[in-house]
Amino acid sequence: MTETNIEMTKPEDSAITSFEDLNIEYKILTALKDMGFEEPSPIQKGAIPLALAGEDIIGQAQTGTGKTAAFGIPIVQSLDEKDRHVQALVMSPTRELCIQVAEEIGKIGRTKRIRVLPVYGGQPIERQIRNLRGGVQVVIGTPGRLLDHLHRGTIKLDHVKFLVLDEADEMLDMGFIEDIETIIKQVPVDRQTMLFSATMPRPILSISKKYMRAPKLVAIHKEIVTAPTIAQYYYETRDKVDGLCRILDTTDDFKMIIFCRTKKGVDELVIALATRGYQAEGLHGDLSQSQRDRVMKKFRQNEVDILVATDVAARGLDIDNITHVVNFDVPQDPESYVHRIGRTGRAGNTGVSITFITPREFRQLKLIERTIKTKIIRGVLPTDENVLERQREQIISKMQSVLEQDNFHDYLPIVEALEKDYEISDIAAAALKFMQEGNKALETPESKSDLPDALSNTGARPGMVRLFINVGRSAKVTIRDIIQTISIEAEIPPRSIGRISMYDKFSFVEVPAESAEKVIGVMHRNTIRGYRVNMEPARARE
């Protein structure tokens, strides 16, 4: 494609520094202030004036650079508040993104009472139809669901003045191209069209050629946004899971996204982490919409602090306060490296990126380094000693806060009673042992259970052993099925089986210590409701 009908603009050169300079109306300026937007991002500086002037636009800037407001602000400003027809149609690839865009436009339009509705698969269509009938001015939809509404005649596009293709590259990757073209053809030709995308593969340019009028290209180049606030490290190791655990054990207060290359890689890592006592959630294309929602909600609300994802599943998602991005697998190309690590170090916060490589992947890493013109620092993995040291530090700091709170006096009589026979420092050390190890600290060498090591340290309550099984909710197996099968196969009473926690792909079951070996023996390689079972002792997180 030649550049003849796409004109480049260079927002970097302009003198615009504030939203006021962009001729945005007062009502919207107030809303932007409430949203905490202080100044327009580069793509906004470039796109908003052109959009307000009625131009068709192709906007290219990487994830997290504010593309939504770049089209959202001009749309909200140009809408006729009194006209209850659909005036703006935004197509976006996933449910998550539709909701995010709808929320953002809703906020921008708050002071103007603009009615915005996301429509996507997975939500009852009747509810959407009812809302559409109520009169909605901006619709944000996935191509599939929009087509569905068009076929049912429940959405009318004949008053649409603004058409936006958001995250166009991703819609293309997901195979939506034909749906998109069908929808575009139903929108009046006399409209303004805007296309936003992180990358500009050829098919996107050809769509723009077909459906846009003399589009202006606003491209923000990567160099501008490779954040200097991200400390970038790499670790070379043959055992990436072990390396990751060492990092988790020596880092506090993190909120981490870990990228894997494949869906299978995501599942395997979530399970590997779970058996080691770290709770992580996986996100990839095989999950149902409601599973995705549940995962995202947990992660957003900090109920789980590790999200393991594929590139496609995580692309475009806007999540605040990510402290660490981990490339468990080296990204395929420098561009996706920049995309991935751009999830952290946002809004002036600092972030850390960690890339694991095997010795063979060294050249790939060097290629990334050369392309992004940034040094990725070689990190040294924490040793066992470091991990222990860290635990000690954590205990010391916890003890310090307990001491500072100064309300442990109920326990002093116990110390006084012991003081007659023991040294104070011994009493304190024994108390810490008891705190860390619980009843295990009471075992004498004779009473010590003759359980093999793997069974004695599974994080179960005293007398029990926690076992990992590779079947979970997604296998349509219930807690009852698990209890029944174990109880029948291992000939133990159902009531003796303890706590069971089920996740999507696996579960943990507590069984009495004395039956643990038998349970593993009969269950491993057995089946539950037709699913082949792997069963092994869980590993406690120390």
Per-position b or e across 11-29, b if 16+ CB within 10 A of its CB: beeeebeebeebebeeebb
The residue ranges that bind Mg ion (CB under 5 A) are 67
The CA-atom distances, in angstroms, between 79 and each of 47, 83, 115, 301, 438 are 17, 8, 11, 34, 65
One residue of 37, 71, 211, 278 binding ligand ADP per CB under 6 A? 37
Q: Is 95 in the site for ligand ADP (CB under 6 A)?
A: no
Q: Which option in Mg ion, ligand ADP, none does residue 9 bind, with CB closer than 5 to 8 A by kind?
A: none
Closest CB to Mg ion among residues 67, 191: 67
Q: How far apart are CA 207 and CA 216, in angstroms?
A: 14
- Cβ count within 10 A of residue 512: 17
Does residue 86 contact residue 136 with C-beta atoms inside 8 Å? Answer: yes
Tell me how far, at minimum, the Cβ of 338 lies from ligand ADP, in Å.
13
Does residue 87 contact residue 80 with C-beta atoms inside 8 Å? Answer: yes
Q: Which residue is nearest to ligand ADP (CB)?
A: 66
Beta bridge mates, 282: 308
Closest CB to ligand ADP among residues 90, 258: 90
Q: Which option in Mg ion, ligand ADP, none does residue 421 bind, with CB closer than 5 to 8 A by kind?
A: none
From the list 65-73, 122-130, 223-231, 461-469, the region that binds ligand ADP by CB under 6 A is 65-73
| Alpha helix (H) residue ranges in 53-154 | 67-78, 95-108, 125-133, 143-152
Tell me how far, at minimum, the Cβ of 102 lies from ligand ADP, in Å.
12
Closest CB to ligand ADP among residues 48, 467: 48
Q: Is residue 516 within a helix (H) or strand (E), and if so which, with residue range?
A: helix 513-523
Q: Is 63 in the site for ligand ADP (CB under 6 A)?
A: yes
Q: Is 41 in the site for ligand ADP (CB under 6 A)?
A: yes
Task: Give which of 25, 95, 37, 96 is closest to 65, Cα–Cα.
Answer: 37
Tell me how far, at minimum, the Cβ of 43 lies from ligand ADP, in Å.
7
Q: Is 65 in the site for ligand ADP (CB under 6 A)?
A: yes
Tell me how far, at minimum, the Cβ of 295 lies from ligand ADP, in Å.
19
One residue of 31, 45, 46, 68 binding ligand ADP per CB under 6 A? 68
Tell me how far, at minimum, the Cβ of 319 lies from ligand ADP, in Å.
9
Extract the tokens encoding 318: 């806007």
Q: Is 148 in the site for ligand ADP (CB under 6 A)?
A: no
Q: Which option in Mg ion, ligand ADP, none does residue 265 bind, with CB closer than 5 to 8 A by kind?
A: none
**Ordered strands of the 464-469 beta sheet:** 500-502, 507-512, 464-469, 535-537
Return the ∠ at Cα 315 (arms to 328 and 42), rounded to 5°.
115
Closest CB to ligand ADP among residues 41, 137: 41
Beta bridge mates, 141: 91, 119
Tell me how far, at minimum, the Cβ of 138 lies from Mg ion, in Å.
15
Closest CB to ligand ADP among residues 96, 329: 96
Q: Which option in ligand ADP, Mg ion, none does residue 120 bind, with CB closer than 5 to 8 A by kind?
A: none
Q: Which option in Mg ion, ligand ADP, none does residue 41 bind, with CB closer than 5 to 8 A by kind?
A: ligand ADP
One residue of 31, 58, 69, 258 binding ligand ADP per CB under 6 A? 69
Closest CB to ligand ADP among residues 61, 516: 61
Task: Give which of 210, 225, 183, 204 is closest to 58, Cα–Cα.
Answer: 204
Place of tokens 């995580």: 314
Beta bridge mates, 320: none
Closest CB to ligand ADP among residues 311, 318: 318
Question: Could you tell me the end-to-end alpha-carbon distance of the chain, in angstroms, rounded to an integer?
Answer: 58
Does residue 212 contact residue 193 with C-beta atoms inside 8 Å? Answer: yes
* Distance, C-alpha 525 to centroid of its chain: 33
Judged by DSSP in three states, 483 sits in helix
From the list 57-65, 213-221, 226-234, 447-455, the region that binds ligand ADP by CB under 6 A is 57-65
Taken as a whole, the chain contains a residue count of 542
* Distance, C-alpha 472 to centroid of its chain: 21
Closest CB to Mg ion among residues 105, 520: 105
Tell me how far, at minimum, the Cβ of 241 lies from Mg ion, in Å.
33
Q: How far apart are CA 55 and CA 53, in angstroms?
A: 6
Beta bridge mates, 531: 528
Q: Which option in Mg ion, ligand ADP, none does residue 179 bind, with CB closer than 5 to 8 A by kind?
A: none
Tell me how far, at minimum, the Cβ of 152 lies from Mg ion, in Å.
28
* Distance, C-alpha 310 to centroid of its chain: 10
Q: Is 71 in the site for ligand ADP (CB under 6 A)?
A: no
* Distance, C-alpha 372 to centroid of its chain: 24
Q: Which option in Mg ion, ligand ADP, none does residue 64 bind, with CB closer than 5 to 8 A by kind?
A: ligand ADP
Q: Which of residues 309-328 bind ligand ADP (CB under 6 A)?
A: 316, 318
Q: Which option in ligand ADP, Mg ion, none does residue 40 bind, with CB closer than 5 to 8 A by kind?
A: ligand ADP
Q: How far apart are CA 80 and CA 82, in angstroms?
A: 6
Closest CB to ligand ADP among residues 94, 507: 94
From the list 67-75, 223-231, 287-295, 531-539, the region that binds ligand ADP by CB under 6 A is 67-75
Query: Regarding beta strands 377-378 and 230-236, do their DSSP bridges make them parallel or antiparallel, or are they unpaired?
Result: parallel
One residue of 64, 93, 265, 379 binding ligand ADP per CB under 6 A? 64
Q: How far apart are CA 236 and CA 357, in angstroms?
A: 5
Closest CB to ligand ADP among residues 72, 143: 72
Pattern 153-182, binding to ligand ADP, x per CB under 6 A?
Answer: ------------------------------
Does residue 458 contact residue 465 with C-beta atoms inside 8 Å? Answer: yes
Binding site for ligand ADP (CB under 6 A): 37-38, 40-41, 44, 61, 63-69, 104, 316, 318
